[in-house]
Amino acid sequence: MKRSNQRKDDGANPAGAATVAGRGDTLTERLHRELKAEILSGRRIGGTRLPSTRQFGVQAGVSRNIVLAVYDLLLSEGLVVSRRGAGTFVRDGAARPSQPPPAFDPRVLQARIRSPWRDGGLTDPIAASAPFDFRIGIPDTRRFPHDVWRRSIARAARELARRGGNLGPSDGLAPLRAAIARHVSFARAVACTADDIIVTAGAQQALDLIARVLVTPNRTVAAVEDPGYPPAAHVLAAAGARLHPVAVDAQGLVVDALPRAATLIYTTPSHQFPLGAVLSAQRRAALIAFAHARGAVIIEDDYDGEFRHHGRPLDALQTLDRAGQVIYVGTFSKSLFPALRLGFIVAPPWLRRALVAAKQLADWQCPLLEQIALAHFIDDGHLARHVRRMRRIYAERHDALTAAIQRDLGKALTLIPSSSGLHLAALTAPGKSAAALATRARNAGIAIQTARAYRRDHGGGDGLVFGIGQIETDAIDTAIRRLARLLTP
């Protein structure tokens, strides 16, 4: 694996995700690229012998080890062959024959790519880490009990071997669905049984399946929070929904501002993304009433609701609703780790079958190994234990951050009260942009995002959003003081 780590991972970087970026162009990479181009273009013809590594090193003015590494790479790519005692040769047929004029201009083909995907994916406002890291959407994976998880994985791998490895059910393994139902019944008072659960590849797939099943292109009006979680809006738009951004204030989604035509409402009531507000009890009741009166369906994204810092949690919308108009979406990206790719939907009965069919068409099912392991991890009490422990740690960070912002940044920023989750936000005065401050922070070793980066309506208010997944409690004071100094030049 080491070898290939030298090149950059060129995948699109998901918003809020750490990246695995490389360290730029090494000598090995440059030499490899040049030689490869010569072979592919046919400038070095199949069958010809490459110079010895020693010779080549002298010619190119690099160490023999670098040449060895480059030959090794070419070998692994099948571009050269090594004959014992005779040396390294360009493989016959390694050259890509020069392209004949294609019958169709690639642009003609490219024009067929559907618009949601034509411009590529979402990019992270801040991709890389920093000494003081306030990026949001990332849990503290250093504190995850990886050793315990590895034991669950090892046990699951043995079971999977016994089982053989054929496909299981598309809605998820029954024991995992039962474990998830118990977990959300207990932790979030969501009313459900195993039969209501559909296991998905994270909340992202959950949102995608819901959008695909419920959005009629160019017809369905979907309300999304603004600022809000960009991938949710993106998924709804890609399915063809007419998006309607709805304002958010210190009580969460402004229910009165919902468009009457909305039949799909995406919301983060436990902990607004990214402003951090908790949807008030009144707003909850009003939202449910709206859904019942207008026949709307609510997507309740409870991405970090387990991490309630203070007070009793409010009832989930799913719990308040009695008419099957709330679809609850949960994830294990925050309580375990994002690269696990497991989440779930608690689906109302009328929708379940269609969602399972959509899951089946999307990818049949989630990998069995993680499903079996997670069932054990929950059943054995490890999830509850880890959440309990992290709740305390995140609460400490949350409290330290709240105090520090009020003390050191209170004049410039207005904190939005928050009692839950892995981030909080503070607004700049109306008309003031937070972008300049975020840029200066970046140069001072503080990675922080603006609220506007999550807005669809870019005219709206701005602020800073502080994630607490990556920063230790005792670094918070220093970071905020440093941020405060940037305000007073």
Site for a second copy in 206-265 (CB under 8 A): 208, 212-217, 220, 231, 234-235, 238, 263
Site for a second copy in 279-338 (CB under 8 A): 292-293, 295, 297, 322-325, 336-338
Site for a second copy in 330-369 (CB under 8 A): 336-342, 348-351, 353-358, 360-369
The stretch among 45-53, 101-109, 419-427, 443-451 that binds a second copy (CB under 8 A) is 101-109
Amino acid 243 reads L
Per CB under 8 A, 14 contacts a second copy: yes
Q: How many Å apart are CA 367 and CA 169, to the nearest integer?
A: 11
Number of residues that bind a second copy (CB under 8 A): 137
Per CB under 8 A, 453 contacts a second copy: no
Per CB under 8 A, 114 contacts a second copy: yes
Sign of torsion over alpha carbons 234, 240, 246, 252: negative
**Binding track, positions 138-167, relative to a second copy; x by CB under 8 A:** x--xx-x-xx-xx--xx--xxxxx-xxxxx
Per CB under 8 A, 104 contacts a second copy: yes
Q: How far is the CB of 53 from a second copy (least distance, A)?
A: 21
- Between residues 354 and 475, which has the closer beta carbon with respect to a second copy? 354
Q: How far is the CB of 202 from a second copy (least distance, A)?
A: 6
Q: How many Å apart are CA 342 and CA 232, to the nearest integer?
A: 17
Q: How many Å apart are CA 255 and CA 286, to the nearest integer?
A: 7
Spell out the residues 6+ positions from residue 192 whose beta carbon is closer than 8 angstroms to its own: 181, 184, 185, 318, 328, 346
- Between residues 327 and 438, which has the closer beta carbon with respect to a second copy? 327
Per CB under 8 A, 131 contacts a second copy: no
Site for a second copy in 19-38 (CB under 8 A): 19-20
Reading the block at residue 284, the tokens are 């909850």
Backbone angles phi, psi at 413, to 5 degrees: -125, 145
Q: How far is the CB of 37 from a second copy (least distance, A)?
A: 12
- Between residues 86 and 103, which has the closer beta carbon with respect to a second copy? 103
Q: How far is the CB of 263 from a second copy (least distance, A)?
A: 7
- Which of 1, 24, 83, 431 lies at the binding interface for a second copy (CB under 8 A)? 1
- Which of 178, 241, 278, 425 lies at the binding interface for a second copy (CB under 8 A)? 178
Examine residue 259 and say whether the peptide bond preceding it is cis (omega within 30 degrees of 0): no
Per CB under 8 A, 182 contacts a second copy: yes
- Between residues 355 and 441, which has the closer beta carbon with respect to a second copy? 355
Site for a second copy in 379-438 (CB under 8 A): 379
- Which of 43, 118, 388, 481 lies at the binding interface for a second copy (CB under 8 A)? 118
Q: What per-residue string of b and e applies to 112-148 under the rule 16 or more CB within 10 Å gives b?
A: eeeeeeeeeeeebbbbeebebbbbbbbbbbeebeeee
- Between residues 104 and 443, which has the closer beta carbon with respect to a second copy? 104
Q: How far is the CB of 64 from a second copy (least distance, A)?
A: 23
Per CB under 8 A, 461 contacts a second copy: no
Quick one: 264 exposed, middle or buried, by C-beta within 10 A (0-12, 13-18, 19+)? buried
Q: How many Å apart are CA 234 and CA 196, to the nearest integer?
A: 26
Site for a second copy in 60-89 (CB under 8 A): 76-78
Quick one: how many helices (H) and strands (E) in the chain? 17, 16
Reduced to 3 states (helix: H, G, I; strand: E, B; else coil), residue 7 is coil
- Between residues 145 and 460, which has the closer beta carbon with respect to a second copy? 145
Q: How many Å apart are CA 315 and CA 338, to the nearest integer?
A: 26
Reduced to 3 states (helix: H, G, I; strand: E, B; else coil), residue 413 is strand
What distances in angstroms separate CA 242 from CA 68, 216, 228, 257, 297, one per listed residue?
Answer: 56, 10, 16, 16, 15
